[in-house]
Amino acid sequence: MNEETGDLEAGDDTADTSDALVQEPRLWQGNGWTARVIKNDDDEGWAVAMYKDGHPEPALVGPWTMGRDKKNPKPLDVNAFNTLIKTASEVIRRHEQHLHAMLHKSTVVSTEEGELKVTLDIVPDDDDPYALLTAIDQMGEQVAQVRVAPTFKLTPSSAQGWIENGFKAPR
C-alpha cells in the first residue's frame, strides 16, 4: 500500500476486498441490504428487489423508475437506496407484527377472586404444533397453564369456560 496515497500497489494484497460493497447502477449493497434492479416480467418496465442480508427471498419488490431514455432503468443511488431500506424495513416490521398477532392472543375474564388475563401462545412447530393456554392473576403470577391444540379459539367465553372447569385442558 502506498502510504501517501492510500492506493494499493501491484502485488499488495493487504486490503480485504472480499467484503467490499457493490454500489452500481443496478446493484447496490449496504447497511445489511442489497437492492437489485430487475426487468419487470409483467410489462416493459423495471422493478427493484430489496434483499435483507442472509435471506434468499426479497423483503420488498416494487416498480422502478425508467431512465431518461425510456428504455433503461434509472440508476440506483445512495438516497434511493436509503429510502428503499426504510420501506423494506417497514414491510418486515409489519409482517412481524402480523405474525405476532396471529400467534399471541389474550383476553381478560372477571372471576370472584378478581380479573384473570388469559393468553394463548401458538407454537408453530413443523412436526408438532401446539398452543399454551395460560391464566395470569392481577399480580402477574401464573395461575394455570395447559397445552391445547393450535386451532383453539380464545374468546372471553372459552376462557371463562376453561376457568369454570377448574383449568382442565379444553377438548
Please tell me the distance from the alpha carbon of residue 63 to that of residue 40, in angstroms, as a whole number: 8
* Ranges 3-12, 53-62, 66-75, 124-133: which has the least confidence: 3-12
Confidence of residue 88 (pLDDT cuts 50, 70, 90): very high
pLDDT per residue as tens digits for the range 40-70: 877 778 999 999 999 999 999 999 999 888 8
pLDDT (0 to 100) of residue 167: 96
Structure-block grid coordinates of residue 73: 432503468
The pLDDT value given to residue 19:
62
3 state DSSP class of 68:
coil
Looking at this protein, which amino acid is placed at residue 121? D
Length of the chain: 171
Q: What integer pLDDT is reported at residue 170 of this predicted model?
A: 87
Tell me how far apart the alpha carbons of residues 28 and 160 are, in angstroms, rounded to a whole number: 55
* pLDDT reported for residue 12: 44
Among 56, 135, 59, which residue's Cα sits nearest to residue 91? Answer: 59
